[in-house]
Amino acid sequence: MAPRHRSAGGQPEKGAPAGDGAERDLSAERLREVAAGFGLPGPVASVEPLGAGLINDTFVVVADDARYVLQRINDRIFPYPERIMDNLLVLMQHLAHLPVGDIQIPRLVPASEGSACLRGVDGGIWRMMTFVPGARVLTAIDHADQAREVGRVLGRFHWVLRELDPTALAVTLPGFHSTPGYLERFRTALGNAESAGRPPEVSHLADFIAAREGRVGVLEEARQDGRLRPRVTHGDPKLDNFLFDEKGRQAISLVDLDTVQPGLIQHDIADCLRSCCNRQGETARAGGEVRFDLGICRSLLTAFSEQTRGLLGPSEVEPLYEAVGLVPFELGLRFLTDHLEGDRYFRVRAPGENLRKAQVQFALVRDIEQQERSIRAIIRDAFAKGDIEPRPAEAGAHAGSAETSGRGVH
């Protein structure tokens, strides 16, 4: 497939064809037809929308009383969808020989013709994965044990993939975590908005961004000069992508493997924290104050560190605080840029949603900055502890004492 127009920041350029939304056919008839193209044990009984992903189209398919996840990869966002499939195959192969403990990683269901995926007449790539039964998604973390569970599963994921050479995986989204690239893209979008009369709320946010732009390159520079090494990353370890058991106690799966690619583990850890420690969620509940919850941060990082003992050297732990601030800053930039460009990248339910989401991320950045000393201390303690304590056994490593935080999760 020919790559579409791209920017350095991975988002499609303004003026790029709005192809994906305009061309795709998601009618019930078409969905059943696509689903029937995969090697299912019986006829397709139903196809229903699934989840709240912002990019791909996801459905749950029922066939012969079993459920499967059918997904159309958004080829306007992912310029090389076939690379996602290649990466999934490498990942599946690697995991097939390893004990993943009590974590279930969805498996690919090949198409009837034997290929890993199907290409629709509209050019989109469809693939089918196994469904994790008896699972639910948490809307927010309510208890420190849940934070430990998320940290345990993310740590487990990185631990089992530590020996997979990151160069065995293709880059599915070039520039995905290039904060300088996103800043550049924002400046262009802002310039265009200014010439059309800049809305006041954006002008306030532009000042917030300008005050922090000196720090956007810290991780990129560390990677370039060899202080940080590329590793296999999940790319999207937000709370929604951790499946819990029905009681919401034990995390049983980490899903959404589209962004698995070589990258920096610091981005994964920080992305997970920005999602889990903000109990108000990405859109923030009405009247709720956006805070970075220190109790969740401590529990999550401690469990991550226990699972990955010794994986991260001091030079990899050192930039973690910067990453914790950088990832929500970057996501805020991405939401704001998309707002200025007319909501072309992230799916929105109403105009203004991306602007609101940008404000939430920037509020989170502000709170992180105000709690810098505490967050640095938590990082130091979590990884120092990880160095001296033995790594828990393969399974059953989720039990842990509840952490407390003055104002958050107990």
Q: What Cα–Cα distance (Å) separates residue 170 from each residue in 88, 106, 149?
A: 10, 20, 29
Q: Using the rule CB under 5 A, which residue among 145, 256, 282, 293 binds Mg ion?
A: 256
Question: Contact between 268 and Mg ion (CB under 5 A)?
Answer: no
Integer Cα distance of 402 and 148 in angstroms: 9
Integer Cα distance of 107 and 98 in angstroms: 14
CB of 314 to ligand GN1, least distance (A): 28
CB of 286 to ligand GN1, least distance (A): 19
The interface mask with Mg ion, positions 184-223, x = CB under 5 A, is: ----------------------------------------
- Of the ranges 53-61, 150-158, 179-187, 200-208, which one interacts with ligand GN1 (CB under 6 A)? 53-61
Closest CB to ligand GN1 among 44 and 355?
355
Closest CB to ligand GN1 among 268 and 282?
282
Neighbour-count burial of 6, counting CB atoms closer than 10 A to its CB (0-12 exposed, 13-18 middle, 19+ buried): middle
Closest CB to ligand GN1 among 240 and 316?
240
Q: Which residue is nearest to ligand GN1 (CB)?
A: 55
CB of 315 to ligand GN1, least distance (A): 26
Count CB-CB contacts under 10 A for residue 20: 23
Residue 238's binding partner among ligand GN1, Mg ion, none (Cβ under 5 to 8 angstroms by kind) is ligand GN1
Encoding tokens for residue 98?
């390893």
Question: Contact between 53 and ligand GN1 (CB under 6 A)?
Answer: yes
Closest CB to Mg ion among 44 and 255?
255
Encoding tokens for residue 371?
């709690």
Encoding tokens for residue 220?
């990129």
Closest CB to Mg ion among 237 and 332?
237
The interface mask with ligand GN1, positions 194-233, x = CB under 6 A, is: ----------------------------------------
CB of 179 to ligand GN1, least distance (A): 13
Question: Contact between 6 and ligand GN1 (CB under 6 A)?
Answer: no
CB of 206 to Mg ion, least distance (A): 28
Q: Using the rule CB under 6 A, which residue among 8, 16, 54, 132 binds ligand GN1?
A: 54
Question: Contact between 403 and Mg ion (CB under 5 A)?
Answer: no
CB of 195 to ligand GN1, least distance (A): 27
- Of the ranges 49-57, 146-154, 200-208, 370-378, which one interacts with ligand GN1 (CB under 6 A)? 49-57
Dihedrals φ, ψ of 287, to 5°? 80, -10
Question: Contact between 20 and ligand GN1 (CB under 6 A)?
Answer: no
Contact 14, 180 (CB under 8 A): no
Q: Using the rule CB under 6 A, which residue among 31, 47, 55, 141 binds ligand GN1?
A: 55
Restricted to residues 232-291, the positions that interact with ligand GN1 (CB under 6 A) are 236, 238, 256, 259, 282
CB of 56 to ligand GN1, least distance (A): 6
Question: Contact between 236 and Mg ion (CB under 5 A)?
Answer: yes
CB of 117 to ligand GN1, least distance (A): 17
Closest CB to ligand GN1 among 158 and 267?
267
CB of 272 to Mg ion, least distance (A): 13
3-state secondary structure the chain: CCCCCCCCCCCCCCCCCCHHHHHCCCCHHHHHHHHHCECCCCCEEEEEECCCCCCCEEEEEEECCEEEEEEEECCCCCCCHHHHHHHHHHHHHHHHCCCCCCCECCCEECECCCCCCEECCCCCEEEEEECCCCEEECCCCCCHHHHHHHHHHHHHHHHHCCCCCHHHCCCCCCCCCCHHHHHHHHHHHHHHHHHCCCCHHHHHHHHHHHCCHHHCCHHHHHHHCCCCCCEEECCCCCHHHEEEECCCCCEEEECCCCCCEEECHHHHHHHHHHHHCCCCCCCCCCCCCCCCCHHHHHHHHHHHHHHCCCCCCHHHHCCHHHHHHHHHHHHHHHHHHHHHCCCCCCCCCCCCHHHHHHHHHHHHHHHHHHCHHHHHHHHHHHHHHHHHCCCCCCCCCCCCCCCCCCCCCC
CB of 54 to ligand GN1, least distance (A): 4
* Contact residues for ligand GN1, defined by CB under 6 A: 53-55, 77, 236, 238, 256, 259, 282, 331
* Contact residues for Mg ion, defined by CB under 5 A: 236, 256
